[in-house]
Chains A and B, each alone.
Chain A
């Protein structure tokens, strides 16, 4: 897959300038640089401070409800074994769900927001801004701002405001101000532009709580560190359940924070296969949001990474049924892992995700969000090809309640 030299470890990045190979960096306006350097210093201090970790652990347990369970998805496993048998393979991996959808606020996003809000408190910042796509990061940010009495402004593309109404209402109830962004394509990338414009304007008192492993250094590394609790718990839980590590990991990727959180603690376990699932939208030859499969390296939102764009470097419209994956870029560490060949990046279409959503709901009694439904769509493909003793973990990164109106519309139903 790649001719590049393999490093001794995949877990040491980024370098001091925020680079994962050639990806990452700090491509921001000068106005923001002092803030970004201040943030980097504050984060490094917090990372070395046991009291910060003690606070994180305490709120994780009592407020978020961690650890999230690692659940044996027995009926999904049985179903896919039948599929395997029907195709003459008589295999079918044993499937585990990492239940991030059971976290307070219903998604993995809160792990990162807790870390950043505790950091903002240390830094004395009283005004928090965030961008959001599906609204899960916005809800998590609004929640922790309410908990700690901080002002919260969430930028959300006007198109996303329309398709994620329940989350907009949740944010309002939590006291946050949701600003619909009318510029550009009115989705996540434009929300991020607008949040950056706010930050440039209000640098002195404002903390920008980025929701994924993108943006200028130190965000990709910091957000990853806060999300690594997912993979760290999974290691321990799988050792307890099966006495060994899993054989494969599967997670969906928009910016890629739930995926890197699950993957990172396993990157140096070379026998663990890792699959990242991008959103193929209407298919890779049509409108989609699969930056690695359909994009190439460029610079946007503070970092160099794979982007969907035209020949002139103009950012292209992304499309996914899932607002949380509807972004024309991907975190720089994923871009690097892709080029190194350590993680297999594949994609699932809107239709495949919808089918997986329905299957998971019926078989397991769990309504996954449309984002992890993309990961499940590939589990449905991969698991029947694996032997029965293959342990496969899929990250159920969020719950599907927020998507019900949209799913109903796609399936031709009406919710009264």
Chain B
């Protein structure tokens, strides 16, 4: 299996997305490029080149000889403070990278669990500004855990792409996953994000054939997210054998880490995916665990945060049960 050291090496010197140049790292960025981005960055972030937190985290997992655990919860679900408390508890429970969902009324690639989570968040007034606010507060206490913002394009488009990128970067976001932006629409957000120093993480799917893979991988950064099934989130459980084969295929095309999501619900599933992938993403199962603790008004109860962290611990144990060889 391809290891992560060559991946990181190749990434840092990739001609399209040379992060260090853009963010003022001392290995050769021009002054003008540095100034393009730096004025908007907080002093702390000036020392954090694009995707550094993501790279460092995968490097650490590789050193531990295991896959990374990536968790998804919805910002503002069931209320802003509880969702922040959950976000803060995730790394302690074993999450290596946290994805925070940006709520949207019409999430066309999501199943019932995440649809309902988004509507719960919107009902209590969650929006893009408040979501970035929660991330800012998370980042104030945790400077190492990568934060990926995941959602749909319309709220970002309406916020204004340039303004959004500045604010997201400043809040401490490391990467974006925007479901309804395929490579054909890279001009919209992907390329501006890379320019602004945010990783644009692409979804590869079972329908992404070898002919299409290079386009899908071309402007991606941080890691590649392999969607294990043709379907929506939280639906079918994938055939883990097929997933491993697919991950191998993608890794022949990219030095980036490949994480796998959709349909992972338990520690055993996580362990199965961890065999072949560099990371495992779990979302709907965590949201189901959260939802089961809510009262009849969809409000958090004393058990809400713990229900999520308990499942994260189980998933973390699953991921850690699979020893992986160090880099080839």
Chief secondary structure at chain A's binding surface: mixed
CB pair B108–A301 under 8 Å, yes or no, is: yes
0/1 string, A275-301, CB within 8 A of B gives 1: 000000000000000000000001111
Residue among A35, A193, A307 making CB contact with B108, cutoff 8 Å? A193
Count of interface residues, chain A, beta-carbon cutoff 8 Å: 37
B127 contacts A by Cβ under 8 Å: yes
A31 close to chain B: CB less than 8 A: yes
State whether A34 and B159 are in contact (beta carbons under 8 Å apart), knowing that A200-B230, A201-B235, A313-B128 are contacts in the complex. Answer: no
The reply to whether A200 and B180 form a contact with Cβ atoms under 8 Å apart is no
Cβ of A197: which chain B residues have Cβ within 8 Å of it? Answer: 108-109, 111, 232
A362 within 8 Å of B by Cβ? no
**Nearest CB of chain B from residue A294's CB, rounded to whole Å:** 15
Task: Chain A residues near B153: list those with CB within 8 A.
Answer: 27, 299
Q: Select the stretch in B21-29, B36-44, B200-208 that faces chain A.
A: B200-208
B157 → chain A closest CB, angstroms? 5
The interface residues of chain A lying within 8 Å CB-to-CB of B122 are 314
Task: List chain B residues, Cβ under 8 A from A30.
Answer: 182, 202-205, 207-208, 216, 227
Q: Is the CB of A201 within 8 A of B180?
A: no
Q: By the criterion CB–CB under 8 Å, are A300 and B232 in contact? A: no
Name the A residues within 8 Å of B184 (CB-CB).
17, 25-26, 33
Q: Please, how many angstroms separate the alpha-carbon atoms of A315 and B181 in the complex?
A: 18
Main secondary structure of the interface of B (DSSP, over half): loop
- In this complex, what residue of B is CB-closest to A202? B230
| Chain A CB within 8 A of B155 CB | yes
Cβ-defined partner of A196 (8 Å) among B108, B115, B203: B108
Return B58 CB to nearest CB of chain A, in Å: 22
**Residue on A with the closest CB to B122?**
A314
Cβ of B206: which chain A residues have Cβ within 8 Å of it?
31
Give CA–CA (A113, B127) in the complex, Å: 39
Contact of B106 among A17, A203, A300, A312 (CB under 8 A): A300
Tell me the minimal C-beta distance from A369 to chain B in angstroms: 26
Taken residue by residue from 93 to 127, chain B's Cβ proximity to chain A (1 for < 8 Å, 0 otherwise) reads as 00000000001111111011001000100100001
Q: How far is the CA of A190 from the CA of B206 in the complex (A)?
A: 26
- Cβ-defined contact, B212 with A313, below 8 A: no
In the complex, A201→B104 CA distance in Å? 20
Q: What per-residue 1/0 map shows which CB atoms of A305-344 lie under 8 Å from chain B?
A: 0010101111100000000000000000000000000000
Shortest Cβ distance from B130 into A: residue: A312
Task: Tell whether A183 is near chain B: CB-to-CB under 8 Å.
Answer: yes
Q: How far is the CB of B250 from chain A (nearest CB, A)?
A: 12
A66 interface residue (CB < 8 Å to B): no
Cβ of A29 under 8 Å from chain B:
yes
B123 CB → nearest A CB, Å = 11
User: How many angstroms between the C-alpha atoms of A29 and B232 in the bound complex?
Assistant: 10
**Residues of the B chain whose Cβ atoms lie less than 8 Å from the Cβ of A200:** 108-109, 230-232
Q: Does A184 contact B (CB under 8 A)?
A: yes
Q: Is B158 interfacial (CB 8 A cutoff)?
A: yes
Q: Does B179 contact A (CB under 8 A)?
A: yes
Residue A179 is within 8 A (CB to CB) of chain B in the complex: no
Nearest B residue to A38 by beta-carbon distance?
B207
Asked if B16 is at the interface (CB within 8 A of a chain A CB), the reply is no
CB pair A26 B182 closer than 8 Å: yes
**CB-based contact B181/A35 at 8 Å:** no
B154 contacts the other chain (Cβ, under 8 Å)? yes
In the complex, A237→B145 CA distance in Å? 69
Other-chain contact of B180, A28, A34, A189, A313 (Cβ < 8 Å): A28
**Contact of B235 with A313 in the complex, beta carbons under 8 Å:** no
Whether B185 sits at the interface, judged by CB under 8 Å, is: yes
B182 to chain A: closest residue by CB: A33
CA distance A183 to B153 in the complex (A): 20
Identity of the chain A residue whose Cβ is nearest the Cβ of B208 in the assembled complex: A30
Q: Could you tell me the distance between the alpha carbons of A299 and B151 in the complex, rounded to whole angstroms?
A: 13
Residue of A nearest to B232 (CB): A197
| A34 near B157: Cβ-Cβ < 8 Å | no
Query: Can you sample 9 A-B contacts with CB below 8 Å?
Result: A27-B185, A183-B112, A184-B106, A201-B231, A203-B207, A299-B157, A301-B108, A313-B159, A315-B154
